[in-house]
Chain A
């Protein structure tokens, strides 16, 4: 059983009994997608909601829209069936209680909304989510069971 680590603005896939993880999600979103039959799983750690709003958008894993598209493409290439894919997401916290309308204040929420909108557009059902609030999360996806572990400082392990 191998552990595959996904960094910030990064994505990767894993299979069978392997586990895929990303550490310390803040306002970013961890998007976990898996195929329950072939046990192909994928995880993207996106930072920003929309690549079309940015001039510098060459890093496709950085954005919800392009990140999810690329992740699904890689999963299908690894044997996943497009129609069976399901998703779970976590993250999108507001790390600092910044007042006002600064872009950073609600970027977590916008990331969560954009991720859900993209999944919906691609017809991938969102089975569960743990987003928002004000704390960081480490997530682990086990594609063999579809379980998505969420760990936070001073909180009990949550499995969605």
Chain B
């Protein structure tokens, strides 16, 4: 049985996650900036440790439609990760990528959905490479899976993952932006044994 319990998470682990959030968001910002050919700035990410009741409302209301991109994490550690975008941010990114006016807000077509998956892939990859660099582990990910639905429903997936070993979930909130702020939320869900591996490789005593 793994030694780790998320409810005993310490300050240091928090700081490490914040740093992963920082570096990951930095990487992601550069990637998005290149992809869209835009100058994109980034705010310092916020890391929050939330109960299941607080989790959906930290992002929006439970019923607000959001975009969720889910990837399985493989190789040295196992688990999964999720990146969430508000609809407004997703439209903004897709419109820029497709060369459409900013205020275009029709339903996403097939092409838009692949573009969103790719954005999710790039952003998630940015965080994973930050984690990989810090832990000196090989971390790869599956193809991205996409869902556009109520925030509560999408967040049930990470909540269930965290629910297997605690009553809280860790959320990294990032804001990118130039004239329009892009709000993204990142959730890393290592499986129980992988927590131990991550913490050990970071030199954090359990």
Contact = CB atoms under 8 A, between A and B. Distances in A.
Interface of A: 7-10, 23-28, 47-48, 54-56, 58-59, 62, 93, 95-98, 100, 102-104, 107, 134-138, 153
Contacts of B63: 23-24, 138
B156 A8 contact: yes
B156 A7 contact: no
Contacts, number: 116
B52 A9 contact: yes
A91 to B, nearest CB: 8
Nearest to A111: B160
A111 to B, nearest CB: 9
A62 B154 CA distance: 17
Interface stretch (B12-20, B37-45, B124-132, B144-152): B144-152
The 7 A-B residue pairs with the shortest CB-CB distance in the complex, in nearest-first order? A24-B152, A136-B153, A26-B156, A26-B153, A23-B62, A7-B53, A24-B150
A52 to B, nearest CB: 13
A119 to B, nearest CB: 21
Interface string B35-66: 00000000000000000110110000111010
B155 interface: yes
Given A24-B62, A55-B1, A104-B161, A96 B70 contact: yes
Contacts of B145: 96-98
A107 B55 CA distance: 19
Contacts of B165: 54-56
Nearest to B57: A7
